[in-house]
Amino acid sequence: MRWAKYVTLLFGLFIEAKAAEGKLLATPGTSSIDGSAGGGIVPWAQLSNYASDNEWGGSAFCSGAALSDYRLNVCGAQLNLFDRLELSVADQAFTVVATDTMIKQSVLGMKVRLYGDVVYSRWPQMSVGVMHKSLSDDAVAQQLGASESQGNDLYFAVSKLQLGAIAGYHWFWNVTTRYSEANQNGLLGYGGPDHSSRWHFEASSAIFLTPHMAVGYEFKEKSQNLGLGESHWRTAFLAWFPNKSMTVTAAWLNFGSIARSKSQKGMYVSLTGYF
| pTM greater than 0.85 (yes/no) | yes
Domain ranges of the chain: 22-274
Distance CA(182)–CA(14), nearest Å, equals 35
Chain centre to alpha carbon of residue 52 = 21
pLDDT band for position 17 (cuts 50, 70, 90)? very low
Asked if 256 contacts 264 with a C-beta cutoff of 8 angstroms, the reply is yes
pLDDT band for position 275 (cuts 50, 70, 90)? confident
Strands 169-179 and 150-166: antiparallel
* pLDDT tens, residue by residue, 203-261: 999 999 999 999 999 999 998 899 888 899 999 999 999 999 999 999 999 999 998 89
pLDDT of residue 191: 92
Q: Which burial class, exposed, middle or buried, applies to 142 when counting CB atoms under 10 A from its CB (0-12, 13-18, 19+)?
A: middle
Distance CA(176)–CA(252), nearest Å, equals 21
Distance CA(182)–CA(39), nearest Å, equals 19
Q: Is the pLDDT of residue 19 over 60?
A: no
Among 275, 239, 269, smallest CA distance to 60 is for: 275
Distance CA(83)–CA(112), nearest Å, equals 9
Share of the chain above pLDDT 70, in %: 92
Q: Is the pLDDT of residue 93 over 90?
A: yes
* pLDDT tens, residue by residue, 47-70: 999 998 899 999 999 999 999 999
Distance CA(255)–CA(238), nearest Å, equals 18
SS3 186: helix
Tell me what the mean pLDDT of segment 86-100 comes to.
96
Going through 116-221 in order, the beta strands assigned E by DSSP cover 125-135, 150-166, 169-179, 199-210, 213-220
pLDDT band for position 152 (cuts 50, 70, 90)? very high
Distance CA(136)–CA(149), nearest Å, equals 8
CATH class of 22-274: mainly beta
Q: How far is CA 273 from CA 64, 166, 258, in A?
A: 15, 29, 31
pLDDT band for position 5 (cuts 50, 70, 90)? low
Tell me what the mean pLDDT of segment 81-89 comes to.
97
pLDDT band for position 23 (cuts 50, 70, 90)? confident
